[in-house]
Amino acid sequence: MILPRKFRDELGQDMVITKGVGKERCLYVFPQGEFEAFAAKLHSQPLTARPTRDFARMFVAGASSESADSQGRVVIPQTLREYAGLSKDVVLLGQIRRVEIWDKAEWERYRAVAEAAYADETNAAHLAELGI
């Protein structure tokens, strides 16, 4: 896959691609340093907490360190392409500290539901509680 220049500038040469979180079948792409910082936070959590262990296993076990070539091309491992159901058409989304990669059809399905929730007044109240 070729990363657009704006994402290459944010991600840098070295990055980590891993499974997205939850039921969303997308991939997360982190700058190497950002992924390492997140992994350090996971490492600091108690091993006695099963949800933390389960999350760390899935998040870290599926991670793949990759490098962009001089033209911005990055190889997405087959296992991650299968996880996200990536076809020929994909969508890349900038998400503050990461980039998400979605199969275009899956993104369109997700977006339709998410836009309805975004417009919901309950969601607005939740963001107000967060001070946003």
pLDDT digits 0-9 by tens, 8-57 = 888 888 999 999 988 889 999 999 999 999 888 888 888 888 888 888 88
- Quick check: is 92 in a domain? yes
What pTM was computed for the model? 0.84
- Quick check: is 125 in a domain? no
Domain count, the chain: 1
The Cα 48–Cα 100 span in angstroms is 31
Task: Give the CATH number of the domain where residue 43 resides.
Answer: 3.40.1550.20
- Quick check: is 132 in a domain? no
The Cα 127–Cα 37 span in angstroms is 26
73-106 per-position pLDDT tens digit: 999 999 999 999 999 999 999 988 899 999 999 9
The Cα 81–Cα 75 span in angstroms is 10
